[in-house]
Amino acid sequence: MFDYIVVGAGSAGCVVARRLCEAGYKVQLLEAGPADYSLDYRLHMPAALSHVLANDTYNWFYHSEPEPHLNGRRLYCPRGRTLGGSSSINGMIYVRGNPGDFDRWAALTGFAEWDYEHCLPFFKRSETTTNGVDQYRGREGPLRVTRGEMNNPLFETFLSATEEAGHVRRDDLNGAEQEGFGSFDRTIYNGRRFSAAKAYLTPVKQHPNLHIETGCQVLALASEQGRITEVKYLRGKQQCCSSAAREVIVCAGAINSPKLLLQSGIGPADELAALSIPLVKHLPGVGKNLQDHLEVYVQQACTQPVSIYPALKWYNQIPIGINWYLFKRGPGATNHFEAGGFIRSSTAVDYPDVQFHFLPVAMRYDGAQSAGTHGYQAHVGPMKPTSRGSVTLASKDPLAPPIIRFNYADTEHDRAVMRAAIRSARDIFSQPAFDDYRGDELAPGAALQSDQDLDDFVRDHGESAYHPSCSCKMGQDEASVVDARGRVYGFDNLRIIDASIMPEITNGNLNAPVIMLAEKLSAAILQDAQ
């Protein structure tokens, strides 16, 4: 028997497994997907991120239900299915979120220990970086965080244009102030993706206390009288089960964590009854409060041949790949999202609620489409959406994908912030710094100016930023699923530790706050164990 069973080897699961095994506890780490094979360039070459998103090899490859406010389109929802989870397939941008996000967590939940002051030490504990000042940044953590070289002239042009538009340039977007523009921190080190598996698991893979099992899809949690007695899973086609002397810790992510609870009879009683799943614990908040970032691409043609458009050609990708494989240098060694920032959509908000990612090419995030010419773009969208969705079961079959409804752009607030984001991007691209590069606006297109025009554009072209969260929220009201220490209400040995327990989505990409959250709750587990 193991002391702890960790379900899911994603960003949170890697942290938890590492911290518990190092503390002397016997840990079983169950991952549904395959190992993060070292020879598969798709997982390790930063520029190959679109390749790993293109199929289901390392990816649950989920899609939403038809989105009612996006013309009934089903949006792609990739989730990592390998060691490292989504940190092995994401865009590698390291953004902690705004300090105000965590103060809001404390206010929303009534848990004072989740304010920024209490979270900052765990951000610092997780990282090693040469950036910023010691008051805010970590120097001895497992996760390597670096900055891009910003060799392409369009990056400096973009940052100069943001200053001309009246915005502040920041030396560290993860430091004292998030508002403004600058170079992004990234989980890239020595030209390779530095996933949570690379950071936390690789150094302890041979640890005698850690038992990593890939290809093991957890089907359900068996329980008796408020205690999880067995974790049931498939290893290949073989039915297996494990027991934990201390706790079962679910780290399956914002989609699969609520799915697993529902499969186990934990969730809204009416939903479970409709599928003839025996009720174990009525928790109406399981699968509710789902949040994500919606974004659009504001794209501009570039009149000089300085963008990375030629790198999209197959015949250029061969030497790029060879250079990366041999030397870990060149265009293959970066995610190309090297600059961006945060602004307020209006003077009425307390801190930034719009994010920019700048890319020196005009293409989709997943590589499916490019503009067919030299260009550049900003990914923009609301960071604090008020629209809410859900994760529910499609059937009793635990292998069936769940029903995911994000309900993007449901509120006028979210639509107004998106319009402000698009207009702010246009304003930056209109500044004198871009005069030598600016061609026609490719998207939305100069003809689209009215509120209605922009709303229609978003309905046609809005895309997920791949940040699902908040579907098993932390708090104290009846819709809450876990307490301040990640413990599932009604159980004495079950926790959830991943993006699903966020009460509200944070400002920016989610990998960094998930790792912080896992560090913080790992410490809580060890305190409770004593």
Find out whether 266 and 281 touch, Cβ atoms under 8 Å: yes
Could you tell me the two tokens for 437?
């590069």
> What separation in angstroms does the CA of 87 have from each of 48, 159, 361, 468, 528?
14, 27, 23, 13, 28
pLDDT confidence band for 367 (50 / 70 / 90): low
**If you classify domain 149-183+294-382+409-461 with CATH, what class do you get?**
alpha beta
Find out whether 184 and 338 touch, Cβ atoms under 8 Å: yes
Cβ count near 63 (within 10 Å)? 14
pLDDT confidence band for 257 (50 / 70 / 90): very high
Burial annotation 20-58 (CB, 10 A radius, 16+ → b, else e): bbbbebbbbbbbbbebbeeebbbbbbbbbbbbbbbeebb
Cis peptide before 468 (omega within 30 of 0): no
What pLDDT is attached to residue 364? 74
Three-state DSSP at 218 gives strand
Q: In terms of C-beta density within 10 A (0-12 exposed, 13-18 middle, 19 or more buried), how is residue 190 classed? A: exposed
pLDDT confidence band for 314 (50 / 70 / 90): confident
pLDDT in tens, 387-437: 999 999 999 999 999 999 999 999 999 999 999 999 999 999 999 999 999
What pLDDT is attached to residue 365? 63
Which helix (DSSP H) or strand (DSSP E) does residue 239 occupy? Answer: strand 238-242
For the cut 80, the answer to whether the pLDDT of residue 213 exceeds it is yes
For the cut 90, the answer to whether the pLDDT of residue 363 exceeds it is no
Tally of helices (H runs) and strands (E runs) in the chain: 13, 28
Could you tell me the two tokens for 319?
């030497």
Compute the C-alpha angle 266/290/112, nearest 5°. 85
Lowest mean pLDDT of 358-367, 479-488, 518-527, name the range.
358-367
Domains in the chain: boundaries: 149-183+294-382+409-461
Bridge pairing between strands 27-30 and 210-213: parallel
pLDDT in tens, 215-254: 999 999 999 999 999 999 999 999 999 999 999 999 999 9
| Torsion angle, alpha carbons of 336, 339, 341, 345, to 10 | -70
| C-alpha R_g of the chain | 22
pLDDT in tens, 120-159: 999 999 999 999 999 999 999 999 999 999 999 999 999 9
Q: Average pLDDT for residues 497-522, to the nearest whole number? A: 98
Q: Is the model's pTM score more than 0.95?
A: yes
Please report the DSSP string for 70-113 in residue order.
TTTBPPEE--B-STTGGGGTS--EE----HHHHHHHHHHHS-GG
Q: Average pLDDT for residues 348-366, to the nearest whole number? A: 91
pLDDT in tens, 453-502: 999 999 999 999 999 999 999 999 999 999 999 999 999 999 999 999 99
| Orientation of helix 116-126 relative to helix 511-529, angle to 10° | 100
Compute the C-alpha angle 316/372/184, nearest 5°. 70
In whole angstroms, give the CA distance from residue 409 to residue 64.
14
- The amino acid that residue 164 corresponds to is E
Q: Active-site positions?
A: 467
Which letter does DSSP use for residue 290 in this model? B
Compute the C-alpha angle 180/184/190, nearest 5°. 165
Could you tell me the two tokens for 214?
């890939």
Find out whether 246 and 526 touch, Cβ atoms under 8 Å: no
For the cut 80, the answer to whether the pLDDT of residue 366 exceeds it is no
Alpha carbon 246 to its chain centroid, in Å, reads 29
In whole angstroms, give the CA distance from residue 352 to residue 345.
7
Please report the DSSP string for 441-510 in residue order.
EEETTTT--SHHHHHHHHHHH-EE-S--B-TT-BSSSTT--B-TTSBBTT-SSEEE-SGGG-SS--SS-S
